[in-house]
Structures are given as C-alpha cells and as structure tokens.
Amino acid sequence: MSRTAERVRFFTESVIREMTRWAHHYGAINLAQGFPDFPAPEPLKAAAVQAIMADHNQYAITWGSPRLRAAIAEKYARFYGMAVDPERHITVCCGATECMIATLLALLNPGDEVIVFEPFYENYGPDTWISGARPVYVPLRPPEWTFDPDELARAFSPRTRALILNTPHNPTGHVFPEAELRIIADLCQRHDAYVITDEIYEHIVYDGRRHIPIATLPGMWERTVTISGMSKSYAVTGWRIGWCIAPEDLTNAIRKVHDFLTVGAPAPLQEAGAVALEFPMDYYEQMRRDYERRRRLLVEALEELGFEVWWPQGAYYVMTDFRPFGFDDDTAFAMHLVREIGVAVVPGSSFYARPERGRTQVRFAFCKREETLQQAVARLRRLRNR
C-alpha cells in the first residue's frame, strides 16, 4: 500500500526545476528554466518598494486588487479590443501556474478529457490529472510545429470538456496563426468544449508575427479562459502574479477555487503590477527587439555548432535535435552538457507524454543577457571538439 495519494502516481517531479538544481550543483549556466537573468524595469521595482512602504502589506481582495484589475482590463481593451469587466471577468492568481490549475479544478469533472498539444509545457499533464481528468494528446510536428486538422478532429470525443492552448508555444515557439485558431475554435464550438489558453508569452513574437487571443474569435469569448501574467512580459517570474480572464459564470467558479487554494497573490506586487500594465507601446517594442537579438545570437550559434534547430516564431525557447553529436538519449545528453560543458538545458522527453518522441531533443532558453548567452556558446564550442 502506498502511503501517498493515487493522483501523485500519474506524474513525476518537474524536470525543468530539476535541471535548475543541477545547474546550481555543477555551477553551469542555466539555459534550462525560463527565467530572465536581467533586471526588471526600474519603474516597476520602484513601484513595488513604494507599495510596501505605503503599507499594502495585508491580503488584497481575493480575486485581485481593484487597481490591478482595472489596469488589466484597460490593457486588454488597448491591445486586443477585448471588453473585459474588472468586476466580473478577472481573477488574479499566484502566477499563470495557479491560474491553470485553478481553472481546471473549477471546470473539469472526473472522467472528462482534455486535449493538449504535444510537446507541451510540463505542468499541463499533472494539472489535468490532479483535476481528475485525462489528457488526450495531439502532436505538433516540426519544422513549423503545426497540427494535422484531421488528427485534432479525431481527438474529440463525447467526453472532451476542454482544450488547452498555449500560444506563443512553450517549448516549440509556435505562434498559432488565425487559420489554425479558427480550426480549433470551430471544433470546440462543435463539441461544446472550453478553450483554456495560456498566453504568458503574448508579447514575445518574432518576424512581424501577431499574437491573437482565441477569445477574440467569433463565438469564443463565452467558452474561453485566457491566462497570462507579469512573469515574462516584465521579467518578474518570482513575483507570482497571473490572471484568468473568463465570462462571469466561469470566473465565479475560478474565484472560489483560487480563494481556497491561495487566498490571493502578493498584495504589494499587485499594486506595483498596475504600473507595468500601464507601460506605453515602446516598452513592448523594445522588449521584442531585445528578444530578437537574443534569439539570433543563440539559435545561429547552435545551428553553426551542428544542432538541428527549429527557429522559434515566439516565446524564448528553442527546440533542437542533438543527434549530430553522437548521442541518442536526451537525459544522457543534458547531463553531459550540465556536467562536462557547463550549460543546463531541458531534456526533450519531459515535454512529451510519449517520451520517445522527444528522446533526441533538448530545449534551450534564451531569456538571458547577451553576455550569458555568449558565455554559454563559448562553452558549447567544446562539444564540437570532443
């Protein structure tokens, strides 16, 4: 008899976070976990200090401070023309991570099925299992990391309750274009399924691409939960501020779960967050240009070193195939990199339910200072000379 619950047998510890621990252990450069190593914007940090000094130190309203919710609503109107009511449609949580699990717990029943594109950000599997539901995987295939519409159609069943979308996509960088979103929207309407969409990388898109929230497509607002947060847009992954945007009935259910999970996200950081959401357009353009440079620096170098790379269209990761180096196991290769070369990456299999599909892939994160990336590239050059 196991001393722990059944549900924890369905998943393992996060490999991303484990690789961060190995990076610390071996003193390696961490291109595994996706967090910036550059500072957050000065005005945002100043606002946080000020919020604490102004004694915003007790619980905020459980679903989010009024100032932050107003700023979120204003930003969605400004960027996407979405009419979001801060009183009825927003739940602020401890990061997009809590948003996702609170949403699944609020919307799913045991035995429901949830469609997930594979590869996928590791949390979606465990989140689904913890909610008592079952993930059904639909492959995204390189080089573009698109799905086959027939395969997606076949994944729907009478038990399908929701589809988890993530655009821009982690780990592949795929930015779902409008045509693909329409196929997804159409199937979800036909099968009366929710779309739960993780858009945390919404402002990181390349080559003139545009991020489109699926909630803005005709007929989708009513069945969509849009999740995003501050972590990636303002380089504050440790602040743990995320939000769910959903129609009123779904929001009420999400707020109940969130209240009993964590009560609320950090109050002073919510106050400060409002300042970031009010940043002008230039801020996002500058950030995008900075990421374009980081992407070019790392991905070109990896290509030149001999990796097979799939240039990401958005987000700040690149998936690669390392077979040219004579390895055939992703964990062995990742451990070799962190131990002998001094660079931590994430083994590809951790993004797949069927691990064999990612066996020859590793993911690099490039949300790092250019010096960090240059140093990592210098270390990786030793790979070639083995």
Residue 33 or 320: which CB sits closer to ligand GLN?
A: 33
**Sign, CA torsion 201/202/203/207:** positive
Where do we find the tokens 């979120």?
72
Count Cβ atoms below 10 Å from residue 243 Cβ, excluding itself. Answer: 29
Under the binding rule (CB under 6 A), the answer on residue 16 touching ligand GLN is yes
Under the binding rule (CB under 6 A), the answer on residue 299 touching ligand GLN is no
- Total residues contacting ligand GLN by CB under 6 A comes to 7
Residue 75 or 232: which CB sits closer to ligand GLN?
A: 232
SS3 317: strand
Residue 15 or 274: which CB sits closer to ligand GLN?
A: 15
Q: Residue 359 CA to chain centroid, in angstroms?
A: 22
Residue 121 or 156: which CB sits closer to ligand GLN?
A: 121
Interacting residues with ligand GLN between 157 and 216 (CB under 6 A)? 170
Under the binding rule (CB under 6 A), the answer on residue 33 touching ligand GLN is yes
Least separation in angstroms between residue 170's CB and ligand GLN is 5
Residue 17 or 78: which CB sits closer to ligand GLN?
A: 17
Binding-site member from 76, 120, 121, 234 for ligand GLN (CB under 6 A): 121
Binding-site member from 23, 34, 69, 103 for ligand GLN (CB under 6 A): 34
Least separation in angstroms between residue 33's CB and ligand GLN is 4
Give the length of the chain.
Answer: 386
Question: Using an 8 Å Cβ cutoff, are 346 and 171 in contact?
Answer: yes
Residue 170 or 372: which CB sits closer to ligand GLN?
A: 170
Residue nearest to ligand GLN (CB): 34
Residue 9 or 17: which CB sits closer to ligand GLN?
A: 17
Under the binding rule (CB under 6 A), the answer on residue 350 touching ligand GLN is no
Question: Using an 8 Å Cβ cutoff, are 123 and 100 in contact?
Answer: yes
Residue 98 or 180: which CB sits closer to ligand GLN?
A: 98
* Residue among 190, 225, 188 at smallest CA distance from 103: 225
Residue 35 or 325: which CB sits closer to ligand GLN?
A: 35
Could you list the beta-strand ranges (E) of the chain: 29-30, 90-93, 113-118, 134-139, 160-166, 194-198, 224-229, 242-245, 308-310, 317-321, 343-344, 346-347, 361-365
Least separation in angstroms between residue 363's CB and ligand GLN is 8
Under the binding rule (CB under 6 A), the answer on residue 349 touching ligand GLN is no
Question: Using an 8 Å Cβ cutoff, are 164 and 108 in contact?
Answer: no
Under the binding rule (CB under 6 A), the answer on residue 17 touching ligand GLN is yes
> Which pairing describes strands 242-245 and 90-93: parallel, antiparallel, or unpaired?
antiparallel
Least separation in angstroms between residue 282's CB and ligand GLN is 26
Interacting residues with ligand GLN between 78 and 107 (CB under 6 A)? 97
Distance between CA 119 and CA 140 in Å, rounded? 7
Edge to edge, what strands does the sheet with 317-321 contain? 308-310, 317-321, 361-365, 346-347
Least separation in angstroms between residue 190's CB and ligand GLN is 31
Question: Using an 8 Å Cβ cutoff, are 226 and 245 in contact?
Answer: yes
Question: Using an 8 Å Cβ cutoff, are 347 and 307 in contact?
Answer: no
Helices and strands of the chain, counted as H and E runs: 12, 13
243-262 footprint of ligand GLN as x/- string (CB under 6 A) = --------------------
Under the binding rule (CB under 6 A), the answer on residue 376 touching ligand GLN is no
Binding site for ligand GLN (CB under 6 A): 16-17, 33-34, 97, 121, 170
